[in-house]
Structures are given as structure tokens and as C-alpha cells.
Structure 1
Amino acid sequence: MTQLSPETDGIEPGADDIRPTVSQLEEEGDAAADYIEELLDVADLDGDIDIDVRDGRAYVSVTSTSDSNLRLLSKPDTVSALQELARIAVHTRTGAFSRLILDIGGSREARQAELVALVERAIQRIEDGAASASLPPMSSYERKVVHDIVAGEGFVSVSEGEGRDRHTVITAK
């Protein structure tokens, strides 16, 4: 059982604890943006790319006007797959493992809202008398977001399970 804290920034124990520099993260963002830009060109999709560095990660966001066809790529599974491909592109260019986060058409914001609602329902179960509440399996980034939401609500969360079955369990303090 692993409890994550804001200090670990979602890095599981045993992971490489060496944090990349801001310039390395900017290079990751540039490599990922180049890859995504080429993909958009090939697919004839419109989008503006923004790169940001925060919380020890590179964030690449693709946005467009409301009448754009970018929504074709903004489904959660598609964003996750493209994020993994962008991470591979970064690794190919830099030789370093990347933890970059890709957002397409506000997909991360939408998922954040879903996670907040999921945590609120779990906390309600605990307040109604349950000893704990387990959430469904999710990615390490989503578990990190959940840990932050749970901590903000004054509860405790831990990650349990392995691989695709890794999930978050919430308990009262």
C-alpha cells in the first residue's frame, strides 16, 4: 500500500527521483508539440498548441475555436493514447523518460470534473458510515489528481493494486 503526498508529485516509490530541470521540461514540451503538430497536419485538424511547465511536468495543450474538428481527438482514450505516443516521441528525441501531460480540447478539465464528482460520491459513502471507499482503476496521473482532491477535502487516500488494477482507496482521517 502506497500513500502519495504532494511532495512525491505522483511519483511512485522506487521511481527515479531525479527531477528534470525547467529547460529539460521545456525541451520535452517542444518535442511533444512538434509531434502533435505533425499529427494535426497529417490529419488535417486545426489546433493551437501551448506549452507550459509546472509541478515538475511539461504540459502540452491543444485548443481551437468551437467550430473546429479537434473534438475528434478529445475523447479520453484517444488523448491517453496520443499522450503515450507524444512521450515516445520525447524519449526518441531526448533519450529521457517523460511524464508530460497532454490536453486536447479541454479533455483534462472535463476529466478533472468527473474525478471531483467521483471523489464526492466516495466521501459521501464514508460519511454515511462506510469504513472506506474504493475508486475504479485509473492512470497514475489521475490517481495523483484524486489524492490531491481527497486531501483538500480532509480525507486520506492510498493507492492499492498493481498495473491496470491500481486504484485509490479513500478513508477518513
Structure 2
Amino acid sequence: MRNVTAAGRNVDEAVQSGLQELGLITKDKVEITVIEEGNKGFLGIFGKKPAIVKLVEKIDPIQQAKLYLQTIAEAIAGKSDVTVQESKKTVRYHITGEKAALLIGKRGQTLNALETLTQLALNRYPGQYKNVTVDAENYRLKRKETLSQLAIKLADQVLKTKKSIQLEPMPSSERKIIHDTLSGYANHQIKTYSMGEGENRHLVISHKR
């Protein structure tokens, strides 16, 4: 957390001096403590004192989580860049680099672990909660297409055999993809629901009798 003590002819000037030293533009990025309001002195000469302020840069949880993710990514896959897209409820981090594929893991397991860690890092600050998505090599989009195709294939099998199919355990985001894909499929003859707890939670595709 960066901080600086700055002086000026008045408080505003001292604040601007501190912002310039920190490389910031607006006051909303810092916490300001006025140490000395300053004094023009008698006739602007005698007893003159400068205004002194202390500026402490505010923590940006989203940027802190980005730095945390980038540190882990570079420990695994070498030089990596992380870009951020923020919406009202979700923050999306996308990792690029020559060896970014190493961050995906078998069926996205490594990527899912990075996502969990980044979400914990982001939401550890009071009053801060957002959903986090971590992606690399556009894996999430490719995985979504694969799961959607798999869902339809299995649903057709269920329609034919009238027997339920249990899928392998997967994170809630992937279960939702399958659920959304089959919502209303085949004139609502198919239903999906989750079973199990924790890491064993999985989706079941069944026929509506």
C-alpha cells in the first residue's frame, strides 16, 4: 500500500502534489489525512506555514486479485498477462501467454482451482462480493460448446431409452451450461437436477414420465 506525505501552500495544493508523486489523477483513489492546514502568516510573510497532508492509496480489490492471479500464473506457466473485464456482479480475468495452456489442466481442473483462489482473494475485503471467472486460451467458450453438444447427445439417448444418465462431477458453472441447454428441450420431456455434495456434486439427465 503506497503512501506519501506532501506539502503545499494550502491543502488542495498539497493534495495535488501528493497525487502527482503517486502517479494518480483523482482524489477518490486515496485516503487523505490533513496533518497541517497551513497558515498564510502575517502579511503573507511572518509565521507562514505550509499545509501538510498524508495520502494513502486505496486498495483496489479487483487489481489486487489480478496481481495475485498473475503471480500464480507466472509460477506455473512463465510470463503471463492478465486482462480484466468487470460488470456489475462479475469480474472476468483472462490469461494469455506462450504457455497459458498449462493453466487449464485436465478438463479445466487447474483453471477451476485458479478461479476459486482468485474469488477468495477478491472477496476477502469487507463489503466486496463479486463472482469471478478465470479463463485461458478461450477454454471456457470451447468448453461451453463441448458441454452443450454433449448435453443434447445425452438427452437424445435419454429420450430413446427412457433411462436417466448421471454425469461426472463438475463445477456449478458447467452444470448450469447443461441445464440451460436442455431447458425446454424436446418439448420439455427432459429434466435435469443435481445430486451429491461438494466435489462429488453432479448432474442427472432424466426423462419426464
TM range (shorter): 0.5 to 0.7
Counterparts of residues 110-149 of structure 1 (less than 5 Å): 110-149=142-181
**Would you say 1:170 and 2:205 are equivalent positions?**
yes
CA offset digits 1:108-128 (Å, max 9, x no partner): 123223312321231121121
1:102 partner amino acid: V
CA contact (8 A) 1:28 1:100 kept: no
CA offset digits 1:18-66 (Å, max 9, x no partner): xxxxxxxxx65433322122334555733332222458322211134xx
CA contact (8 A) 1:28 1:98 kept: no
Question: Which has the larger displacement, 48-57 or 98-107?
Answer: 48-57
Report % sequence identity. Answer: 26
Distance 1:172 1:80, change over 3 A: same
Unaligned runs of 5+ in 1: 1-26
Distance 1:133 1:163, change over 3 A: same
Residue 92 of structure 2, aligned match among 54, 59, 80: 59
Normalised by the length of structure 2, the TM-score is: 0.57
Distance 1:145 1:53, change over 3 A: farther
CA RMSD, 1 decimal = 2.7
Residue 102 of structure 1, aligned match among 118, 131, 134: 134
Give the number of the structure whose alpha-carbon radius of gyration is greater: 2
Distance 1:40 1:135, change over 3 A: closer
User: 1:12 aligns to what?
Assistant: none
Unaligned runs of 5+ in 2: 1-59
What number of residue pairs does the alignment pair up?
144
Distance 1:161 1:101, change over 3 A: same
User: 1:73 aligns to what?
Assistant: 103
Greater strand share, structure number: 2
CA offset digits 1:123-144 (Å, max 9, x no partner): 1211212243221221111111
Normalised by the length of structure 1, the TM-score is: 0.67
